[in-house]
Structure 1
């Protein structure tokens, strides 16, 4: 009898990946895939939101805290198996833009009460 049958655990709805920032495991749809790019002469970590770029990929939550932690830990180069220093700027910019867009969408959602600091007294 397998452990899943004994414990009654339900398998996740997709492949599990580990965030290189916080080291938490999550379903791949909750994470952003990142690949190494050297087209501009220097190595850069670039986002691969469609998960179609060739080569080794690393995974990070779409959260600036996880991206910053991965930068601080120098996890991009290690996860992508690159020996040279790597610029993670494009990934950080992509995640920041997504968070800004998500924040704006939340503020303009119909029927949603505005945050307390934006309400008039």
Structure 2
């Protein structure tokens, strides 16, 4: 009886930990810091945004948009046939963060997520 209880306890712990991690991953902020400039590169076009309000709006959209989890161990090389990509670069004095987005639908791709932002630049 004691061994069975231990196994059930361990399984419950693993399930709760896994579910908590998934919920955290889907709800945490992708970008936390303040940024002073965004550089958008698509095709051979480069656009720089320095307006603070527009930058905050883009960051809020990235943080609050629905996302699909795409763990590399489960997805394989998945974006080779999606189409063309653009690049978003967020910059401030201390940090540079780069993301790729799909030109066709405007969704942002990170290491673990596809964020459904629908950015169309």
Shorter-chain TM band: under 0.3
Q: Which has the larger share of strand? A: 2
TM-score with structure 1 setting the length: 0.24
